[in-house]
Chains A and B, each alone.
Chain A
């Protein structure tokens, strides 16, 4: 079974530029998460999708961050404009949870390391 795929793996941009990250979850996983992991800290949930609907985006800085999951499969996370403090690893995760199979394990991708200069 293929894992969660993310691209790019690394990105370096100047502040005020925009950047986008892509995630392809494990096939059949209805729930998709984006986390921000700042160096030396635990992951922090930014947004959670159930199929193509947003379940929780309470910690997403909506003035600069946006995310979409149009067809309930792939997802993109965008930052525009980027700030220095956005330097972090952006992790995508997916889980199988639905009303028939409430499996709560989240499977993480390798992440995208963003450096904002």
Chain B
């Protein structure tokens, strides 16, 4: 029940296209859903996060869509650029309890120029 399932494992998108990564969770107590971006040799860095009181959050080219009833959330990258090529992790936690993040398995995104 603590798992967060992420798909796809890898994704190739043409420059300018839309990249979509999906995550699903089981624990209904989760109420904080961040996305992290990781480049080779670096630690993950927070990209964008959402709480379940909203269904969508947008920051620049990055958008999180959240479906509470389906227990799913997704990351959309608009106008994908070669610099977006990285591994993306979704995660979930209980906001007020110790911030223990449960990560998905990761998606390796490649943007072809």
Residues in chain A within 8 A of chain B (CB atoms): 4, 31, 40-45, 48, 55-56, 91, 93, 95, 97, 104-111
A8 to chain B, nearest CB (A): 14
Q: A41-B106, A42-B105, A43-B89 are in contact. Are A106 and B99 (CB under 8 A)?
A: yes
- Residues B43 and A110 in contact, CB atoms below 8 Å apart: yes
Verify if B91 is at the interface (C-beta below 8 Å from A).
yes
Number of chain B residues close to chain A: CB under 8 A? 24
Q: Do B100 and A108 touch (CB < 8 A)?
A: no
In the complex, which residue of chain B has the Cβ closest to the Cβ of A89?
Answer: B43
Beta-carbon contacts under 8 Å, B63-113 to A: 89, 91, 93, 95, 98-106
B54 interfacial contact with A, CB 8 Å: no
B103/A104 in contact, CB under 8 A: no
Beyond A42-B6, A104-B49, 13 extra complex contacts between A and B, CB < 8 Å = A4-B43, A42-B4, A43-B89, A43-B103, A48-B99, A56-B98, A56-B100, A93-B43, A97-B99, A104-B99, A106-B99, A106-B101, A110-B43
